[in-house]
Structure 1
Amino acid sequence: MALPLLPLSVEELCQSEKISKMGTLKVSNSLCRFSKILVICMVAFSLVDSSYCVCEFEAIFNFGDSNSDTGGFHTAFPAQPGPYGMTYFKKPVGRASDGRLILDFLAEGLGLAHLSPYLESIGSDYSHGANFASSASTVIPPIASFFLSGLSPFSLSIQLSQIKQFKARVDELHQTGTISSSGRSSGTKIPSSPDIFKKAIYMFYIGQNDLTSKIAATGSIDGVRDSFPQIVSQINDAIKELYALGARTFMVFNLGPVGCYPGYLVELPHASSFDFDEFGCMISYQNVVNYYNKLLKWTLSQTRERLADVSLIHVDTHSALLELFHHPTLYGFKYATKTCCGYGGGDHNFHPKILCGNVLASACAEPQEYVSWDGIHFTEAANKIVAHAILNGSLFDPPFPLHERCDLQPIG
């Protein structure tokens, strides 16, 4: 049985067997206990006064791609079309979803406001952190321009340079006293103290575009593993550089099960019909991602042993997302590998030349029934479930008592 998250009905799940298209899904006692505990925790969260929050972590600094970009890419390359943002924000806000991302929910859970993109020049609030993520970003810098490669120029190394510049500027403003009592400088709200960089969680959610762009460029999955050591090494080096600047708490998200993503099921090459498992996911891609995730986890464990007083946490989002693809109905979804916003209908509702946002594409009426939003990214409903699993600590390696260090807030 895969990782349990949050069934739609715990009592129904524990008292009966769920029948899926692929056969009978037997539910273990541990799953029932886990689910009941999670529901109790969620109820407890809902009773907490949201105006009161004590947390050791006063900020989040995030590095990533479209999985965690809160508007950076579309600040640099405007503008994002509808129906993106339709569920929560009621308009496009630069997020690759119908609503909030996992990062948004994590910020809410920590009692923080949603992160402003680093590149946003108007109305930004950096008092609780900043988001350096950019859609289409890679770990390894692209060798061609965005207009040729489709990859963002804001690779991980650029994002790392941006936070160094940001920190240096914050330090300078505090040293010179050119900051108001409200924490504002030139109309932008910045951290009230340079100490915030030591009291922040540094998150990494990046690497997916390195994998898929290489496959798209070569037309084959063969040899893609050769680039993994370089990708993991550069993430690891970024962690070490931030550690030298005072960072002490890191959360590194692994790669999701891209072999199940509707867009990749349609667009990426695959060997034959025998490459699909019982859930309709491509086995070859699942194997490649598993290999990468094991390498990432092992590398982080080695770094953890070498760095003093560091919390370096591997976040297994892969297991959580895979559970949603394998057993969508347990979590209230009707469709796993079918896209909500797309074109073409059929099993996946995805056309590589008519993407979500195209005038010919359209969004489903009920995004909460879908795991996949646009074939590559997730609906707000799916993101919320994964965020719950992160906040309750079930995806952490090694275990990290987040609930003991923060009065976690309800995520709506």
Structure 2
Amino acid sequence: MGSVLDRRIVFSLLFLIIVTLLSYNADSKCDFKAIFNFGDSNSDTGGFWAAFPAQSGPWGMTYFKKPAGRASDGRLIIDFLAESLGMPFLSPYLQSIGSDFRHGANFATLASTVLLPNTSLFVSGISPFSLAIQLNQMKHFKVKVDETHSSDQQALKILPSRDVFGKSLYTFYIGQNDFTSNLAAIGVDGVKQYLPQVISQIAGTIKEIYGIGGRTFLVLNLAPVGCYPSILTGYIHTASDLDKFGCLISVNKAVEYYNALLKKTLSKTRTEVKNATVIYLDTHKILFDLFQYPNSYGMKHGIKACCGHGGHPYNFDQKLFCGTSKVIRNSTVTAKACHDPHNYVSWDGIHMTEAANHRISTAILDGSLSDPPFTLSNLCAS
């Protein structure tokens, strides 16, 4: 009798363990159901090229093996974040064919700014899809999701649930074009004058999204653009203007000013949006380190572009961008990609390689760049 009872107890315990494990797996699914991203070419997964189709090789050569609407040889930071949360890559909001918005949408487009592009502050070559436009697209998207759930069951196959907006991650990787677009024309001091306006617009956008249900926000700060080949070749300077790593001192000091103000503003914003999480991500920290000490990360080249023309030291020509050709001295010259982009921090003189994006993403996920502390990798099952 005792042995039968013992067996029953053992089976009961095993059953409880199995149920507990199953419950744990179910509960450990990702806390976030979607990502909504706002940005420029640093996080554009195809929006610009959906609006203005023209992209050709060597873009996408490392991961996608073909152009994939990204300003890189492979995946972007936003791609790595989506993968880590168990989601597919974000579909561009502007892409009409093949998009799946069940796990969010990407409003970023190449050359986008925070401030409206029709202001006199900016030169030509800026996208019409400013942050204000991207916010309006987000609001329209939410309205259409609400309406569709009431009227069109077929469309629900590519749309998220109504309650997804409070369970989503809202990411911002934008501001670089506001900083760089007129740097050569009005100088560092001129650019610094309107940076508080840029930051105020980002904070205001967070508050507007909070008003329609958003609760978790990640804001990436500004990269050390004074190390970018495009800036080093386009901004008039002398050798004394460079630090020992070859980066422009005054430009990077202005970046530090921007980032300090952004961090301070987000701290204030945090007190204004109750029961919300607003995270400042210091991606500048690791990217600056990559430019200065590429060898420490298993890479070889910091301020030299992989894809470009011109050779040492920057391999960048302001008139011959990656993948394009022109006639020089009766010969056709093409800005070609290197064969080993994994050894480069800079892909095309303006954007990062997949290798650099991967290293930045790893630091974001482990929480080492977050203020306040926020470990994204702990929020989802492995």
Normalised to the residue count of structure 2, the TM-score between the two structures is 0.88
Shift in Å at residue 402 of structure 1?
A: 2.5
Shift in Å at residue 241 of structure 1?
A: 0.2
Q: Are 1:206 and 2:174 matched, yes or no?
A: yes
Shift in Å at residue 330 of structure 1?
A: 1.0
Shift in Å at residue 148 of structure 1?
A: 7.0
2:145 to 166, 170, 174: 170
Match of 2:164 in 1: 196
- The higher radius of gyration belongs to 2
2:365 to 391, 402, 407: 391
Partner Cα separation in structure 1 for residue 90 and residue 28 of structure 2: 17
Q: Evaluate the alpha carbon distance shift between residue 291 and residue 163 of structure 1 in structure 2; reply closer, same or farther with a 3 A threshold.
A: same
Match of 2:336 in 1: 362
Aligned to 2:304, what secondary structure does the other structure show? strand
Shift in Å at residue 216 of structure 1?
A: 3.2
Aligned ranges 1:276-291 → 2 under 5 Å? 276-291=242-257
Query: Which one-letter code corresponds to 2:159 in the other structure?
Result: I
Give ranges in structure 1 of 5+ residues lacking alignment.
Answer: 1-51
Match of 1:240 in 2: 207
Partner Cα separation in structure 2 for residue 167 and residue 81 of structure 1: 33
1:341-382 CA-partner distances (Å, limit 9, x unpaired) = 000101110000011010311000011011100001010011
Partner Cα separation in structure 2 for residue 53 and residue 158 of structure 1: 36
Match of 2:223 in 1: 256
Alignment size in residue pairs: 349
Partner Cα separation in structure 1 for residue 376 and residue 125 of structure 2: 37
Match of 2:81 in 1: 106
Shift in Å at residue 104 of structure 1?
A: 0.3
1:42-64 CA-partner distances (Å, limit 9, x unpaired) = xxxxxxxxxx9711101000000
Match of 1:97 in 2: 72
Match of 2:262 in 1: 296
Partner Cα separation in structure 1 for residue 141 and residue 277 of structure 2: 23
Aligned to 1:149, what secondary structure does the other structure show? coil
Aligned ranges 1:259-274 → 2 under 5 Å? 259-270=226-237, 272-274=238-240
Match of 1:64 in 2: 39
Partner Cα separation in structure 1 for residue 336 and residue 375 of structure 2: 42
Q: Evaluate the alpha carbon distance shift between residue 148 and residue 392 of structure 1 in structure 2; reply closer, same or farther with a 3 A threshold.
A: closer
Match of 2:317 in 1: 351
1:138-188 CA-partner distances (Å, limit 9, x unpaired) = 00111279x971000000000000000000000101123x124x932xxxx
Shift in Å at residue 404 of structure 1?
A: 3.5
2:50 to 75, 79, 82: 75
Give ranges in structure 2 of 5+ residues lacking alignment.
Answer: 1-26, 326-333
Aligned sequence identity (%): 59
CA RMSD of aligned residues (A): 1.9
Partner Cα separation in structure 2 for residue 195 and residue 165 of structure 1: 16
Aligned to 2:345, what secondary structure does the other structure show? strand
Aligned to 1:201, what secondary structure does the other structure show? strand
Aligned to 1:222, what secondary structure does the other structure show? helix
Query: Which one-letter code corresponds to 1:161 in the other structure?
Result: N
Shift in Å at residue 275 of structure 1?
A: 1.1
Aligned to 2:169, what secondary structure does the other structure show? strand
2:184 to 211, 216, 219: 216
Aligned ranges 1:22-33 → 2 under 5 Å? none
Contact 2:364 2:376 survives alignment (8 Å): no
2:126 to 141, 151, 156: 151
Contact 1:60 1:130 survives alignment (8 Å): yes
Query: Which one-letter code corresponds to 2:268 in the other structure?
Result: Q
1:246-298 CA-partner distances (Å, limit 9, x unpaired) = 0000000000000111111111233x211111111111011000000000000
Aligned to 1:242, what secondary structure does the other structure show? helix
Shift in Å at residue 405 of structure 1?
A: 2.4
1:172-229 CA-partner distances (Å, limit 9, x unpaired) = 01123x124x932xxxx111x11111100000000000011121343x2222111011
2:296 to 313, 330, 333: 330
Partner Cα separation in structure 2 for residue 71 and residue 213 of structure 1: 21
Contact 1:53 1:111 survives alignment (8 Å): no
Partner Cα separation in structure 1 for residue 133 and residue 189 of structure 2: 29
Higher share in helix: 2
Partner Cα separation in structure 1 for residue 375 and residue 345 of structure 2: 28
Match of 2:287 in 1: 321
Partner Cα separation in structure 2 for residue 217 and residue 75 of structure 1: 31
Partner Cα separation in structure 2 for residue 217 and residue 74 of structure 1: 28
Partner Cα separation in structure 2 for residue 209 and residue 148 of structure 1: 10
Normalised to the residue count of structure 1, the TM-score between the two structures is 0.82
Partner Cα separation in structure 2 for residue 136 and residue 404 of structure 1: 33
Partner Cα separation in structure 2 for residue 268 and residue 62 of structure 1: 30
